[in-house]
Chain A
């Protein structure tokens, strides 16, 4: 009789261990699956983030080159792909003080905007229009935009490149 009790008890325990082992294997497989799926999602999110930063950078370059504050104009008629040098020089000074400082931070956020003007063979002059970076750990997407730089005093166009660098925390 005591042998029978022992046998039944052992049989029940084996079945229980079997079920637990099955569940463990099942959860283990699910965990591997989730980890795999999670990695794919993280990669996809990083790609989307990069795409958005690039899009932001292009959007900002278009926005900036069309701002009436920098665009060339004659009697209020705006000229395409042309930057007024005196407007940029005025911007450099004005954007350091309020209310322009906070206005342009809202508009351009964490980015660096540089206008490079070609003033001679292999000679370039830089104008830093906006510079706001993160303290550490950030990536940058750069969009160069070729523009004509108009000097209204000398009545001369020079070639220039507007660099829009959008920063994002990593």
Chain B
């Protein structure tokens, strides 16, 4: 009796031991597989992010380039640019992959979920080239240009600025708006946004309202958004300024006013650096040339460039709704003056200012 009891007890213990050891081994392998899966996913997303970075860096190298990039399925690329703290990031949502570049000048919608997206560049000149601005747009977004008969020249100019791969349509009346299977539509208006719109239940709708000023190339932009199904836009987030076609395009391709002003802030930051560099270059040229006329022109250019840097630095208090109208006008005047000085030194066969 005692023997039998001892025998059963040893066997039970043996099976219990096998069970525990088996469970530990099983858990170990589950862990290894799970860690392997996470590692493979991370590796893939980081490699994807590196490819995006390479695409953006390659596109940025020259202006007026257009590239169509196929997006991996079920992937959403998020673009963040915060005007308050200047934080900027591109991330693949749901993964650890992200890329931060505090110098990147990029206009984009908040996220891209489409199958393809277009990356194009435009030069920013003030009047010398500062940088190439990158624009990223989802090909599943349609751009409606709501024609205003009194501002036809501006709407025509804007249509010409859009790359041909982007779906756009010029309409005379908001009743022509259709969903047509797009993820999002952007209505570009010229002070003629109607009070009421078609409901468009399944789609996000944004509005960029452009009001040009009496000075060529300068104007105001307002940003609005509308909930799917609503017939009215929410009140405008505020008004901002643009100067030149690149900034105007930037407003059209920005997520909202905050994103637009964040990127404009970067343009100002780069302008500050480049104007400082051109000032120093003009000082070196002033010392190197013999012609008195050219020396005077370089001297004037140094004054203008120093002022340009001061205007760009004055923008340090830039917060949403704060791209100053006077600063934009000042930039325009300095640009015209530098263009004239550059022509002057060219006429006297001296090295160009820019």
Q: Measuring CB to CB, which residues of chain A are less than 8 angstroms from any residue of chain B?
A: 4-5, 8-9, 12, 15-16, 19, 23, 26, 30, 52, 55, 59, 62-63, 66, 68-69, 73-76, 78, 86-87, 89-91, 93-94, 99-100, 103-104, 106-107, 152-153
Q: Which residues of A contact B103 (CB under 8 A)?
A: 103, 106-107
- A-contact bits for B258-296, CB 8 A (1 contact / 0 none): 000000000001101110111011011100110000000
Taking the nearest CB of chain B, how far is it from the CB of A72, in angstroms?
10
Q: How far is the CA of A106 from the CA of B102 in the complex (A)?
A: 7
Chosen A-B contacts, 20 in total, with CB atoms closer than 8 Å, are A5-B3, A12-B10, A19-B18, A52-B50, A62-B58, A68-B131, A73-B128, A74-B352, A75-B342, A75-B352, A76-B127, A76-B354, A90-B278, A90-B281, A91-B277, A94-B273, A94-B277, A99-B273, A100-B276, A107-B103
Q: Which of B3, B61, B277, B289 contacts A8 (CB 8 A)?
A: B3
Q: Is B54 within 8 A of A55, CB to CB? A: yes
Taking the nearest CB of chain B, how far is it from the CB of A11, in angstroms?
8
Q: Is A59 within 8 A of B289, CB to CB? A: no
Q: Which residues of B contact A91 (CB under 8 A)?
A: 277
Q: Which of B18, B25, B125, B285 contacts A153 (CB 8 A)?
A: B285
Q: Which residues of A contact B283 (CB under 8 A)?
A: 90
Q: A8-B3, A73-B354 are in contact. Are A103 and B273 (CB under 8 A)?
A: yes
Q: How far is the CA of A104 from the CA of B288 in the complex (A)?
A: 27
Sorting the interface of chain B by its residue count into under 10, 10 to 19, 20 to 34 or 35 or more gives 35 or more
Q: Which residues of B contact A94 (CB under 8 A)?
A: 273, 276-277, 280
Q: Which of B6, B130, B342 contacts A68 (CB 8 A)?
A: B130
10 tightest Cβ-Cβ pairs between the two chains A and B: A152-B351, A90-B280, A12-B10, A68-B129, A90-B281, A66-B61, A153-B288, A100-B273, A103-B273, A94-B277
Q: Is B101 within 8 A of A103, CB to CB? A: no
Q: Which residue of B lies closest to A63 (CB)?
A: B57
Q: Which residues of A contact B274 (CB under 8 A)?
A: 68-69
- A-contact bits for B109-132, CB 8 A (1 contact / 0 none): 000000000000000010111110
Most buried by B among A59, A91, A104: A59
Taking the nearest CB of chain B, how far is it from the CB of A161, in angstroms?
19
Q: Which residues of A contact B125 (CB under 8 A)?
A: 76
Q: Is B57 within 8 A of A59, CB to CB? A: yes
Q: Is A152 within 8 A of B285, CB to CB? A: yes
Q: Which residues of B contact A76 (CB under 8 A)?
A: 125, 127-129, 354
Q: Which of B2, B28, B131, B288 contacts A5 (CB 8 A)?
A: B2
Q: Which residues of A contact B182 (CB under 8 A)?
A: none
Q: Which residue of A lies closest to B47 (CB)?
A: A48
Q: Which residue of B lies closest to A13 (CB)?
A: B10
Q: Which residue of B lies closest to A78 (CB)?
A: B129
Q: Is A106 within 8 A of B277, CB to CB? A: no
Q: How far is the CA of A12 from the CA of B131 in the complex (A)?
A: 81
Q: Which residues of A contact B127 (CB under 8 A)?
A: 76
Taking the nearest CB of chain A, how far is it from the CB of B152, in angstroms?
29
Q: Which residue of A lies closest to B10 (CB)?
A: A12
Q: Is A16 within 8 A of B17, CB to CB? A: yes
B42 at interface (Cβ–Cβ under 8 A)? no
Taking the nearest CB of chain B, how far is it from the CB of A41, in angstroms?
9
Taking the nearest CB of chain B, how far is it from the CB of A103, in angstroms?
5
Q: Which residues of B contact A69 (CB under 8 A)?
A: 273-274, 277
Q: How far is the CA of A166 from the CA of B346 in the complex (A)?
A: 39
Q: Is A103 within 8 A of B270, CB to CB? A: yes
Q: Which residues of B contact A152 (CB under 8 A)?
A: 285, 351-352
Q: How far is the CA of A157 from the CA of B50 in the complex (A)?
A: 36
Q: Which residues of B contact A15 (CB under 8 A)?
A: 10, 14
Q: Is A62 within 8 A of B57, CB to CB? A: yes
- Residues of B282-339 at the interface with A, using a CB-CB cut-off of 8 Å, are 283-285, 288-289
- A-contact bits for B6-25, CB 8 A (1 contact / 0 none): 11001001100110010001
